[in-house]
Structure 1
């Protein structure tokens, strides 16, 4: 789970939000950004925690939860004290392999089978291939079952091993996704975000997802270099920068040291090609980073993208 949640600036102008009371607006943004939120949109949220973090009393909290259930925005499971934010997966797309892996680990800790089933339905609806976890099978090792041969009650060794393995998986979630490695990744993502805002423009949801993908493939110094090249060519926009990064990716360049070696290689190839009056293709590649790949989208392409966004 990330240590921050992005809220789109259009939140306050959303048709649904405009009709909410101030109390409801605060509560709605709280359930999307509080300290317990998860990447999958289902997380345990005891009412006592809500009381502590919002300052609302228990009666107000129960009233607000009921309202948002009536609005069909959330589902709250009283038995497991878990909340499910409907359509969360629609607006927080699973496009990164690491995000997908994080979600698949999170859902192993979901206690409510009903909420998990709803989550899978939304994944199918929006075309996300998420590995399914059967809650009954997950806890099978804790129950006694009949031995088919002798009719004796016993705990199967296979189930116990499976339970132990899953327990270890739960312990390892933070080590790979949410602890030191994730802190380093978040720091890296933060630096890239600042570079983008300072040189390109504001970060919306689409750009945010793109920056996450970029941060998983390139280091900060190389990302800065891509911005510098785009700026020097007078085309400092996301599409042009992404084109530069794609060329580096295809040449297996992911950090600044590899980039320097890549430039040396281009210069050597250019030198071996010959020094006549016309520039070689290697020189053109070095100077322009394959200019043809990063053409500015046409008005027709921009209109097509806008129509696609409206359709969502």
Structure 2
């Protein structure tokens, strides 16, 4: 199963990256963020020999770069005994949304971590409260807020600027409302998928979440219902419908109905059909070249 990892483009504008990191530092750090050993929790097992093999560096060079990432840049920790590495800011960028599938995956992976201090190291920088609590449950004391932790850091630091505090509080509340709405919508779609399509893997859950964020819950649900109506019980077919809607600038259910009405009218007009013989309706998704639909 393919895995996807979040790397923000702002990485290249970060002063630490621009002014302090060598090209070798940047290369190895990006490798540590995206290699095939990475886990959902930002902690995983990897040997220096594997790093050297994948990057083309010698083990001595890997050791030197790794020491800079650990001691100078303070971006990772590495346990020589367990061969486990932890990415400090992993949770800030990879847990934008939560949800039961994500939380179940996190729980399963945290149980396999041998060095519990690495859980604390990553967990203290997680902004998503529910996921943060999961990490905290594997340690023997509560987390402390990190300096570069959640967006309301200035509030915890006790700034006296009332307008700044008010603006930050309102911004935080709006963000929490948006996350709650998205999680609620995703939960409804997840339930529908599990009842009608089958087991919901973390990867599919992530794709569904992204689709709900882009298209909205009504369109995702409608696309899933269309897939079921033609006997296609798989997410790839459903996403194919959504991609076509994207191309057709479909944004609401009214747009879906208008598109289908247009298709029905074309079927009744032979002359128009001859001009555009290969244009499908929403119930006739044409997979792109090379797309394998069960």
TM-score (normalizing by structure 2): 0.49
TM-score (normalizing by structure 1): 0.47
| Bigger Cα Rg | 1
